[in-house]
Amino acid sequence: MDMYPKYTSPFGYQTGKGGIDTYGVNHNGFSVRDEVEYQFARDKREQELMKHYNAQGITSNYPQYTTNFWGNNADNNYGFGMANITDNIANLPQVTPILQQQTQLQNNIQPNNFATQQNPLQQIVGAVGDLTTEYFNMKNHGYKNLDDYHHCKANYNAAARGPLGYNTAKYLGDAKEKFDFYWNQLYKGKSEQEAIADRNHDLGVNAIGRLRGDSGLYNSAQDACQIIA
């Protein structure tokens, strides 16, 4: 069911083509009751996130979530099932783990050990090189289902260089998605809603890559991004 076709939430939620929303959940089997319960659960979770960011002084331009919003993997429709979702909603992960990850993403604190080995110029130039390399790797592979992997890997490598690498990747990545938003409509024939969904998805994957690159918790970009491939 498509009850909110034109609505975009502060965190990037939007109904999507084919009944799958931008958080990855398939609504095609939902009854009216399921849809209402889902929307209440989504709104409640977003309100909890908003309170957290507001407490940090962030009152606009919130992070745009994608399939990481519910804190589940894709199994069983991200934990909702395909119908009669009442009991499944009660078993969803709490919002706290996502808040912890996004707090680190926003504050960009405690860069990993690799970052201390690079001076500011190396971080900036290296980040540009990381994004360029993965862009051409993605084009050379030519597989659509590897786009997320390359987006994540480029941002991971850039953020792992240090704060300036992180910020360079964010600036260039955001600019690229703004350009693609119009390019997809003018030259690829996508609708505005499709272009918005693509933009929000890519921004979310970029943010995951930077978060993981900054965390120091992974051995390599391949390790950090393989689950996205």
Number of domains in the chain: 2
Has residue 98 been placed in a domain? yes
**Per DSSP, which regions of 100-176 are E strands?**
none
Better-predicted residue by pLDDT, 109 or 148: 148
Q: Is 100 exposed, middle or buried (0-12, 13-18, 19+ CB in 10 A)?
A: exposed
Highest mean pLDDT among 99-103, 104-108, 186-190: 186-190
Has residue 2 been placed in a domain? no
Q: What is the pLDDT of residue 156?
A: 93
Q: Which of 3-7, 11-15, 176-180, 195-199 has the lowest mean pLDDT?
A: 3-7
Same-domain status, 75 and 116: no
The CATH number of whichever domain residue 176 belongs to comes to 1.10.132.110
Domain finish residue from 50, 74, 105: 105
pLDDT in tens, 42-78: 888 888 888 877 776 777 777 888 888 887 788 888 8
Rounded distance, CA 68 to CA 78, Å?
9
What predicted TM-score, i.e. pTM, was given to this entire model? 0.52
Has residue 56 been placed in a domain? yes
Domain finish residue from 85, 105, 125: 105
Same-domain status, 121 and 183: yes
Same-domain status, 98 and 119: no
Q: Is the pLDDT of residue 1 over 70?
A: no
Has residue 68 been placed in a domain? yes
Domain finish residue from 105, 136, 160: 105
Average per-residue pLDDT for the chain: 80
Has residue 3 been placed in a domain? no
Q: Is 26 exposed, middle or buried (0-12, 13-18, 19+ CB in 10 A)?
A: middle
Q: Is the pLDDT of residue 227 over 80?
A: no
182 lies in which domain range? 112-225
Has residue 11 been placed in a domain? no
Q: What is the pLDDT of residue 228?
A: 62
Q: What does the pLDDT average to over 123-128?
A: 93
Same-domain status, 211 and 149: yes
